[in-house]
């Protein structure tokens, strides 16, 4: 059957009718106002040839699904049960992913009684538990089944307030995060199946027209935060609505990523309609024999129609990232079409679900940034000391270990923030390797004390102490001018200094002091010293290296760089100011690597700064004052020294390092366009030419 070309041109009236009717059902409009729209319920078929009242059997009539394997979540009742029955009727092998396996087995028996040839398996899956999702995925993959279709159908609708075992809003986790993790865990299996079978894989997210009412967008700060235990903020309807926006955004961003990979898998979201199933159990006016339920609400067979249509109908081949209503492409809300929001939602979901095996790191980071009570992370801290990565080093490797046997004689390095913490340890170990280190410090008295301590241990250390206040552009320029006047070469620039979540304060240059200290000061310093580094690299024939100390916190810059709010004291958020400054560090290194690459004289590497050391870095946050079980300072400079000195890193530029190994940064941190914009913005503020 040829796919009607006008399916993409579905009228706005089509969706307006759905919206107005739904508004009335949810109490947003007086019911009498939607009477004209109710007439739409009884109109004819849409461009696909199907209508609101088409059943799942009708939309799959004549389609042979033999050889396909599908997973259907929430398959023990309602739309999921009917989807399972009809897919099995068309020859598809269906794996029922259900929370209650006993109920699942009863459904399986009922289907087999009607269709003895049905091929059905029942497996346990509780989307409200990330551990259960991982167990299900692991068990499914161990069976060796292919996977052609993933129907993310399960959901809850406006339940009372409750947290999941993972301390996340249970409704949001069940409706979105659980499916997000499940999809990521099974994606490689789907890709493999698509390649081997030469059949298009399909992912279907069951969403709702309710996504249109997410007027406040995704409330990232309320999904997982200490205040989540305060039931007063919870709104059951909005909790549902934002989870449904997340479903649509998930399919949209997944489509983008799959297309970039050239994988033959499509991902779409579907609104099944207002269906009288158990999901409505918390809204009595839609249950039972009420007039609304009797005359306006679909039955399960009609509700499953769009899911089955998008899952196996040939009309849908090659169509991805779309929103379907009643087996026709429809118009989603403008928020659901927001590509930037889709990317932010992806990063946020990834950080909470650990879909790429960074659970321990993310759990600890969530505590540092106020998303979790810190006490929950103590067990994870104990597991910091993991096995070695590809570099041969691990989280527990020390700075001395990663530079063992490396001779830095003849090299000159500048280390900012060298009077305490990571900076002082970086200075000590570089000097131990024979590097001439210039300590760039705000407090020269403290710097001289560190120098004396190092010389006491290593009398041959070559160290200079110079004043540098990154919170003042005049100070940065004075430091650079003084350094160049000394005639020193410059092989290594370690942009290490930083502050973490201080109270709101403007610098002498009328810029957010935290953003200027963590990013702009280093940006200006790097630009002022770049010609010296290029000259040194040319004359010495030794690769120059620039290291920007960033943070895993960059992952939480969900709204990106707030260019228009950098200097706005009224909207200052000490945590967000920090995370966006760390994102800026990575973008700086990325853009700098791009600009330096043609010259092959120098390169920059950026890395994750460990935030688990009892150093003055945390002086502005009281919650960390009593945390005495942090890693010792000797671990803290390992990655700085490794990136600055180790031959393994030669020629590698623009990368993000964690624990002396290349790691995966957030999608925003990889955005080349954003990196260019950040560079131009920083240039305009620093006038660094």
Catalytic residues: 234
Instruction: Give SS3 for 608.
Output: strand
Which residue matches tokens 């340890």?
Answer: 425
Sign of the four-CA dihedral 181, 184, 190, 192:
negative
Helix then strand count (H, E) for the chain reads: 25, 16
* DSSP single-letter state for residue 176: I
What are the Cα distances from residue 443, in Å, to 68, 93, 423, 435? 68, 69, 13, 22
- Strand 492-495 and strand 462-467: the pairing is unpaired
Which residue matches tokens 């269709």?
Answer: 115
The arrangement of strands across the sheet holding 412-416 comes to 462-467, 436-441, 412-416, 492-495, 544-550, 602-608, 656-658, 661-663
Query: Hey, what long-range contacts does 98-102 have (CB within 8 A, 24 or more apart)?
Result: 98/73, 98/74, 98/122, 98/123, 98/124, 98/125, 99/74, 99/124, 99/125, 99/126, 99/127, 99/128, 99/154, 100/76
Neighbours of 525 (CB within 10 A): 27
Structural contact between residues 451 and 459, judged by C-beta atoms closer than 8 angstroms? no
d(CA 86, CA 309): 11
- Strand 328-330 and strand 544-550: the pairing is unpaired
- Strand 462-467 and strand 149-152: the pairing is unpaired
Q: Is 540 exposed, middle or buried (0-12, 13-18, 19+ CB in 10 A)?
A: middle
Q: Which of 470, 493, 471 has its CA nearest to residue 603?
A: 493
Sign of the four-CA dihedral 87, 93, 97, 98:
positive
* DSSP single-letter state for residue 163: B
Structural contact between residues 353 and 132, judged by C-beta atoms closer than 8 angstroms? no
Neighbours of 174 (CB within 10 A): 25
Neighbours of 81 (CB within 10 A): 26
Q: Name 149's bridge partners.
A: 70, 202
d(CA 237, CA 229): 18
Structural contact between residues 384 and 396, judged by C-beta atoms closer than 8 angstroms? yes
Structural contact between residues 242 and 218, judged by C-beta atoms closer than 8 angstroms? yes
Structure tokens at 578: 């920090």
H/E stretch holding 127: none
| Residues whose CB is less than 8 angstroms from the CB of residue 113 and which lie 6 or more positions away in sequence, other chains included | none
């Amino acid at each position: 059957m040829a796919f009607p070309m006008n399916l993409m041109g579905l009228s706005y009236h089509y969706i307006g009718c759905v919206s107005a009717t739904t508004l009335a059902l949810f109490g947003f409009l007086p019911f009498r106002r939607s009477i004209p729209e109710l007439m739409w319920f009884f109109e004819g078929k849409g461009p696909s040839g199907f209508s609101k009242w088409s059943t799942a059997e009708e939309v799959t009539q004549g389609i042979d699904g033999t050889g396909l394997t599908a997973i259907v979540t929430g398959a023990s009742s309602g739309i999921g049960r009917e989807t399972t029955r009809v897919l099995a009727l068309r020859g598809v092998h269906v794996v029922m992913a259900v929370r209650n396996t006993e109920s699942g087995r009863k459904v399986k028996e009922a289907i087999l009684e009607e269709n003895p040839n049905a091929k059905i398996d029942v497996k346990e899956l509780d989307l409200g538990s990330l551990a259960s999702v991982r167990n299900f995925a692991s068990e499914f993959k161990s069976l060796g089944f292919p996977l052609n279709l993933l129907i993310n159908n399960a959901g809850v609708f406006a339940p009372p307030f409750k947290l999941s075992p993972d301390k996340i809003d249970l409704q949001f986790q069940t409706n979105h995060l659980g499916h997000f993790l499940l999809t990521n865990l099974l994606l490689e299996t789907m890709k493999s199946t698509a390649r081997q079978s030469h059949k298009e894989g399909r992912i279907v997210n069951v969403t709702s027209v309710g996504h249109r009412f997410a007027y406040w967008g995704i409330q990232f700060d309320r999904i997982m935060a200490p205040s989540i235990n305060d039931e007063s903020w919870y709104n059951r309807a909005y909790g549902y609505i934002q989870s449904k926006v997340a479903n649509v955004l998930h399919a949209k961003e997944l489509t983008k990523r799959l297309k970039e990979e050239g994988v033959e898998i499509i991902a779409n979201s579907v609104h099944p309609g207002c269906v009288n199933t158990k999901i409505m159990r918390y809204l009595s006016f839609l249950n039972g024999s009420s007039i609304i339920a009797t005359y306006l609400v679909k039955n399960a067979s009609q509700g499953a129609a769009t899911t089955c249509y998008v899952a196996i109908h040939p009309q849908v081949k090659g169509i991805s990232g779309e929103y379907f209503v009643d087996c026709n492409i429809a118009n989603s809300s403008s928020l659901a079409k927001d590509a930037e929001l889709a990317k932010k939602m992806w990063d946020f979901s990834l950080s909470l679900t650990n879909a790429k095996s960074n659970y321990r790191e993310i759990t600890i980071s969530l505590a540092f940034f106020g998303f979790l009570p810190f006490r929950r992370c103590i067990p994870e801290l104990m597991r910091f000391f993991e096995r070695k990565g590809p570099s041969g080093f691990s989280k527990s490797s020390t700075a001395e270990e990663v530079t063992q046997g490396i001779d830095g004689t003849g090299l000159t390095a500048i280390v900012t923030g060298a009077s305490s913490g990571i900076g002082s340890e970086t200075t000590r170990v570089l000097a131990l390797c024979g590097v001439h280190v210039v300590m760039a410090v705000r407090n020269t008295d403290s710097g001289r004390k560190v120098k004396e301590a190092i010389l006491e241990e290593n009398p041959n250390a070559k160290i200079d102490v110079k004043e540098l206040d990154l919170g003042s552009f005049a100070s940065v320029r004075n430091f650079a001018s003084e350094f160049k006047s000394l005639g020193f070469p410059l092989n290594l620039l370690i942009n290490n200094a930083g502050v973490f979540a201080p109270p709101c304060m403007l610098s002498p240059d009328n810029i957010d002091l935290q953003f200027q200290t963590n990013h702009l000061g280093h940006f200006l310093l790097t630009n002022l010293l770049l010609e010296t580094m290029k000259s040194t690299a040319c004359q010495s024939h030794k690769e120059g290296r620039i290291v920007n100390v960033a943070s895993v916190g960059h992952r939480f810059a969900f709204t990106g760089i707030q260019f228009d709010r950098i200097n706005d004291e009224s909207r200052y958020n000490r945590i967000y100011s920090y995370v966006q400054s760390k994102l800026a560090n990575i973008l700086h290194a990325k853009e700098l690597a791009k600009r330096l690459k043609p010259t092959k004289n120098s390169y920059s590497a950026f890395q994750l700064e460990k935030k688990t050391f009892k150093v003055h870095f945390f002086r502005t946050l009281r919650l960390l004052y009593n945390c005495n079980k942090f890693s010792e300072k000797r671990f803290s400079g390992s990655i700085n020294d490794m990136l600055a000195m180790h031959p393994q890193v030669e020629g590698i530029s623009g990368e993000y390092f964690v624990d002396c190994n290349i790691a995966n940064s957030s999608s925003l941190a990889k955005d080349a366009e954003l990196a260019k914009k950040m560079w131009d913005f920083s240039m305009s503020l620093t006038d660094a030419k």
